Structure 1
Amino acid sequence: MRHTISVLVENKFGVLARIAGLFSGRGFNIDTLNVAPTHDPELSRVTAVVRGDDAVLDQITKQLKKLINVVEVHDFQTGQAVSRELVLVKLKTDSGNRAEIIQICELFRAKIISVNHADVVAEITGDEGKIEAFLGLVEDFGIIELGRTGNLAMER
């Protein structure tokens, strides 16, 4: 089962290491991890997507709540949260395929943020399905470089 866990933490040294250690110590691989400050500079939000058994993840959630500097923990079930990811992708282009790449970007509401003779850089945000569909269409052009933020989730 796939879980999106959102942890609000105090912005203190070592908090992320303790959270990651809790998952790795129980044999869970973190699929995506996103950490950033909130509107309050004293707090950060850690969003992790993991796959695993519900009972074990319930235990990890309880243990996260006991960690020092953890303010709140949410394990979002399917449909409980709005989830998005940001991707920057640099694609090979030439005069023959640039128009087609631009058309695909428009279709997916991706922004082209840099254009050169041999490549373009596109920015796209969306859920995992949209991101994977977009990358599936543009990979044949040649992906030079790719960067993904990981999921960010917020309760509906």
Structure 2
Amino acid sequence: MHIKKQAAERHTLSILVDNEAGILARIAGMFTSRGYNIESLTVADVTENHAVSRITIVTKATPEVIEQIIHQLDRLIPVHSVNDLSAKGPHVEREMALVKVAGTGDHRIEALRLAEVYRARVVDATISSFIFEVTGTTDKIDTFVGLMREVGLLEVARTGVAAISRGKELT
């Protein structure tokens, strides 16, 4: 008898929580204690009175493990809701990166040309380097960073994924 093992899939989870000290540590600890990896994590206040924050987590796991993660998160007291945006359907994901690139001569010209193609903005420049700001999907950021490696990549800082469902439904 051969048991077919399910492959891990990328999932984006949107978690609404009370904006209180320690909740992020509790959620990260829940992932760590069970051996789940967090690929991306962002947190932001989302209400006018600063009472609720949205935590967006990107992780890879089988559907069964994702279901376990959601149930475990739902049991935490300050958690209002957990939504698997990947499973719910159409949603928008964006990430921002600051990309520092060294370059003179042809490398400098090529870096500027590639930045234009990827709609990256120059946010700082010196005689020998640039810092680009680029936003988009994780794949777009990965591709841009890979191309910049060829022309003089020095450093990258990334925000992590921010995501929200499309349409009128709240997440």
> TM class by shorter-chain length?
over 0.9
1:2 deviates by 1.1
- Distance in 2 separating the partners of 1:58 and 1:80: 19
Amino acid at match of 1:67: L
1:80 deviates by 2.6
Q: Deviations over 1:101-146 (max 9, x none)?
A: 1111111111011110111000000002211221121111222111
Do residues 115 (structure 1) and 131 (structure 2) align?
no
Q: Deviations over 1:73-117 (max 9, x none)?
A: 111226531111100010001133222211111111110111101
- Distance in 2 separating the partners of 1:30 and 1:77: 15
Number of equivalent positions: 156
- What is the aligned partner in structure 2 of residue 131 from structure 1? 141
2:96 to 86, 96, 110: 86
Alignment of 1:26-105 (within 5 A): 26-40=34-48, 41-77=50-86, 79-105=89-115
1:70 deviates by 0.9
TM-score, scaled to structure 1? 0.94
Amino acid at match of 2:142: E
In terms of Rg, which structure is larger?
Answer: 2
Structure 2 gaps of 5+ residues are 1-8, 167-171
Amino acid at match of 2:99: V
- Distance in 2 separating the partners of 1:95 and 1:39: 48
TM-score, scaled to structure 2? 0.86
Question: Which structure features the higher share of strand residues?
Answer: 1
- Distance in 2 separating the partners of 1:39 and 1:88: 27
Structure 1 gaps of 5+ residues are none
- What is the aligned partner in structure 2 of residue 155 from structure 1? 165
Identity %: 40
